Structure 1
Amino acid sequence: MTVVDAKNLRDRLQTIDSTILHEWMEQDQVTLIDVREPSEFAGEHIPGARLMPLSRFNPEAVAAESGNYLVLYCQTGNRSAEAAQQLFRAGMEQVMHLNGGLSEWKRHGYSTNVNKNAPISIMRQVQIVAGSLVLVGTLLGAFVSPWFLLLSGFVGAGLTFAGISGICAMARLLAKLPYNQRV
């Protein structure tokens, strides 16, 4: 795909806000798809949403109910935009995503289904693992061999790449763990 094609896909993506989504949901006019990982969905999601994680997203399996708007959402809007681009490439014409994702939905005070027994979020898991690796790398670098500082540098580079690209390899790896697959 050329740069122009990617820009065209981004330009076609329609963004809606939480207020409009809430109105459509009350009128039963929306097919809502959550593209976060199963552990995130299990922990909290918008009532009525279907789970289709981006890590195994299949555009052919996506279909809006007749007469409904198709709306995707994630935590902040990055992953839903990526899933929408996959749908455009597969030939779907009308795709929207929730501006600001679940975070914005909650900021407006709309309800969510919360499961207190669900695993902690993928991003918190990433923070725990990345922080632990940096701490261990730094301590081993200070007390054993300076070569261990490469571990901290590698994790820092990975986090920088994730921040710039919106793609976190560690989150994708953690999402594959069995306890994160439960819904």
Structure 2
Amino acid sequence: MEEISLSALDGWIAQGMPLRLVDVRSPSEFASGHLPGAVNLPLEALTPGSFESGERIVLLCQGGTRARMAQQALRSVGVEACVLCGGTAAWRAAGRAIERETVTSWSLERQVRLGAGMLVLLGTLASALLDTKWLMLTGIVGAGLTFAGFTDICMMGNLLARMPWNRRNA
């Protein structure tokens, strides 16, 4: 099974089917709100040894992109998993309960917005005060955001996810 809907997941839970909900977002995103019973295994930390043989695994993230990437990576080493359609966003939109940790940090999306905004501001101010070549910085940020919009792959987000403040026990 490639993907599972919220209603199908409800059915599995109602039947008492043993399953493992694995949230592949960064620890800070996980702390800001996750499905009850989910465990946090960030995408970059997933290994085949993280799972037991025959375990029913449901992968999720904010919207599904990182969960599908995790699914492909696990499938390539013989571990089968399905992806929750719509991820945490769909869970919240359905009015379902979200667990939060007491100490939260900024979501990865918020960190990307701040970083991109600061780089654009820096490029604009530096081009006005120093040299117009600094406008290239704003162009690079714009190109990166456009690429992220088309592909749903954010290079700045991937870089920020590896920063110490976005890891547990950093």
TM score, norm. by length of structure 1: 0.83
Going from structure 1 to structure 2, the CA distance change for 1:156 and 1:86 (only over 3 Å counts) comes to same
Q: Which runs of 5+ in 2 are unaligned?
A: none
Aligned AA (2:81):
V
Q: Which residue of 2 aligns with 1:24?
A: 12
Q: Which residue of 1 aligns with 2:113?
A: 127
1:40 aligns with 2:52: no
Query: CA deviation digits over 1:113-166, x for unaligned, max 9?
Result: 023531010110000110111122112212321101011111112222222333
Q: Which residue of 1 aligns with 2:71?
A: 84
Aligned AA (2:39):
R
Q: Which residue of 1 aligns with 2:82?
A: 96
Deviates most, 30-39 or 139-148: 139-148
TM score, norm. by length of structure 2: 0.88
> What is the CA distance between 1:111 and its match in structure 2?
0.9
Aligned AA (1:57):
L
Q: Which residue of 1 aligns with 2:51?
A: 62
- 8 Å contact 1:84–1:95 — kept in the other structure? yes
RMSD across aligned C-alpha pairs, in angstroms?
1.9
Correspondences of 1:111-122 after superposition (within 5 Å): 111-115=97-101, 117-122=103-108
1:174 aligns with 2:160: yes
Query: CA deviation digits over 1:12-68, x for unaligned, max 9?
Result: x5211122223323444221111111111111111111111112221332236x6x6
Q: Identity, % of aligned pairs?
A: 41
Q: Which runs of 5+ in 1 are unaligned?
A: 1-12
Aligned AA (2:59):
L
